[in-house]
Amino acid sequence: MKSPADITSTFAPKAVALSNYFNFCSGNYFWAHVINVRMSLNVKSAIVVGVVSLLFLWVRLDHLSDRLTVGTDQGIHFLEMYNIVKSQRITLIGPVSSFNANGRQFFFGPATYYFALPVFYLSNWNPLAVSYFLILVQFLAFFICFYAVYRLYDRAVALYFLLLASVTPIVVNYSRFLWNPNLMLVASAILLAVLVIVRKKPQSSIWFFLIGVLFGLGLQFHYAFMLTIILTIVVILYWKIFHVRKFLFCAVGFVVGFLPLVIFELRHGFYNLKTIILFFSYQPEKISLEFPVGYIQDYHFLSLVPYLLLFFAYLFKKFTFANRFLAFVVLLAFLFLSLVSLVPVPAHGFRTSDDWNYKSALEIRDIIRGENLPLYNIVDLLTGDTRAMFVRSMLVTGGHAPLGVTKYSESSYLFIYSKMPIEEILGGDLWEITSVKPVVLLKWWEVKDGIYLYLVGKTGTKQ
């Protein structure tokens, strides 16, 4: 048996070493070193994310009123939201599709209206406020996806993904204005985040319920979202994590996300479903299909864009291992070309006619409102939308509503904006004008770069 002295001699050096270790750990040097390393890593990541986030917002908010799309669809969306509030009614359907089958059209869901309505109402019917809100929501959607990839998959891939989302032109251009296809980007980015979570944590069925909800919401925004639904299902099946219980949760979630159109279909004899069947059973001798010129457009593939961005971010990370310098050059070239495309202030809004933007529409609205005439209507001979839906929406929501789009013949005055001379306009056969003739020119204004606003009145009327 060892004596106390022997025990002391055996453990004393260890005790001293352990004591020194704890003294070191409790000392300022140790914790300063640990905190410095952790803080430097976190601060570096935070700085990069912060800079990219600011870039994301800047390229969208810079000169927003010059870039804002102000077309027929936007005018209809704003009028529908305004009418929902004023009529105090709930609608089960949203915008209509562009194609026509024997006089029938698809109806999209009303999610677009309900999504933007609170901001539109609280901002006193301000279209710009809706755009600010949409940009913020898109940023949050992509940031959620970035964060999921950052925490659960790969930090470098996540940062490349956020950078690509910030400056890729198709993402930026379709983020600034209200239009139902644009919201597919939001639904798809959040869906991709959930998919990343499911890959790491497949045991929770609640995530499959959320996937179903996003499937339904995406289809409410546009039926082209079906491309992303198919891709997502293929990926889940490939991962072998889709079981009966999870399928049921997903199905219930889809019904929830698609509920307004489910109710509409039940109440109206499956109108949309029958139209789809009519479309796919196309027989030239029986069914007449009408498509707009250039029917397949880039926005039909918007829901796939977040998936593609994540894929390219992954490839780029692999590329950096092969040749870091060349990868850096490619990244700089992409950033440069994207910013060259995005930064210059355009003369017109995205997807709108030359020299036509929100500022021009606002000036025309203010002139018309200032004239304060009764029984008037408006004609657009500039953008191809003769009923002038966007300017009409601003006048209606501002309390200076023109006569309806079917009541041109009851008008005493017409405001016409165009680049054409008034003699050419009045010599034409456009119904909106001929139904009011004979008319005389009462006033005119040059709005911007050769765009003129004419005020004509029925012969014998006084201003």
**pLDDT (0 to 100) of residue 324:** 86
**pLDDT (0 to 100) of residue 198:** 92
**pLDDT (0 to 100) of residue 351:** 84
Task: Check whether 15 has a pLDDT greater than 80.
Answer: no
pTM for the structure as a whole: 0.86
Task: Check whether 278 has a pLDDT greater than 70.
Answer: yes
**pLDDT (0 to 100) of residue 13:** 47
Neighbour-count burial of 77, counting CB atoms closer than 10 A to its CB (0-12 exposed, 13-18 middle, 19+ buried): buried
β-bridge partners, 187: none
C-beta pairs of 336-340 under 8 Å, 24+ apart in sequence: 338/167, 338/168, 338/169, 339/59, 339/167
**pLDDT (0 to 100) of residue 37:** 37
As a whole number, mean pLDDT of residues 242-270 equals 93
How far is Cα 112 from Cα 81, in angstroms, rounded to an integer?
A: 9
How far is Cα 392 from Cα 176, in angstroms, rounded to an integer?
A: 21
Structure tokens at 152: 């659960």
Highest mean pLDDT among 18-22, 415-419, 427-431 belongs to: 415-419
**pLDDT (0 to 100) of residue 283:** 53
β-bridge partners, 107: 96
Q: Which of 426, 421, 420, 424 is nearest to 457 (CA)?
A: 426
Q: Are 90 and 264 in contact (CB under 8 A)?
A: no
Highest mean pLDDT among 50-54, 94-98, 274-278, 349-353 belongs to: 50-54
Q: Which of 332, 339, 259, 307 is nearest to 91 (CA)?
A: 259
Phi, psi (degrees; rounded to nearest 5) at 385: -105, 90
Percent of the chain with pLDDT over 90: 68
3-state class (DSSP) for residue 379: strand
As a whole number, mean pLDDT of residues 373-402 equals 95
Which sign, positive or negative, has the C-alpha torsion 286, 279, 255, 117? negative
256 or 30: which carries more pLDDT confidence? 256
Q: Are 49 and 143 in contact (CB under 8 A)?
A: no
**pLDDT (0 to 100) of residue 21:** 38
- Residue 290's pLDDT band, with cuts at 50, 70 and 90, is low
Structure tokens at 416: 């016409």
- Residue 53's pLDDT band, with cuts at 50, 70 and 90, is very high
β-bridge partners, 379: 416
Q: pLDDT tens digits, residue range 213-228?
A: 999 999 999 999 999 9
Of 148-157, 173-182, 279-288, 340-349, the least confident: 279-288
Which sign, positive or negative, has the C-alpha torsion 312, 317, 319, 323? positive
Q: Which of 429, 422, 426, 424 is nearest to 443 (CA)?
A: 422
User: CA-based Rg of the chain, rounded to a whole angstrom?
Assistant: 30
Of 27-31, 39-43, 212-216, the least confident: 27-31
Length of the chain: 463
How far is Cα 365 from Cα 360, in angstroms, rounded to an integer?
A: 9
Task: Check whether 461 has a pLDDT greater than 70.
Answer: no
Local structure of residue 90 (DSSP, 8 states): -
Phi, psi (degrees; rounded to nearest 5) at 454: -110, 140
User: In whole angstroms, how far apart are CA 335 and each of 163, 164, 165?
Assistant: 9, 9, 11
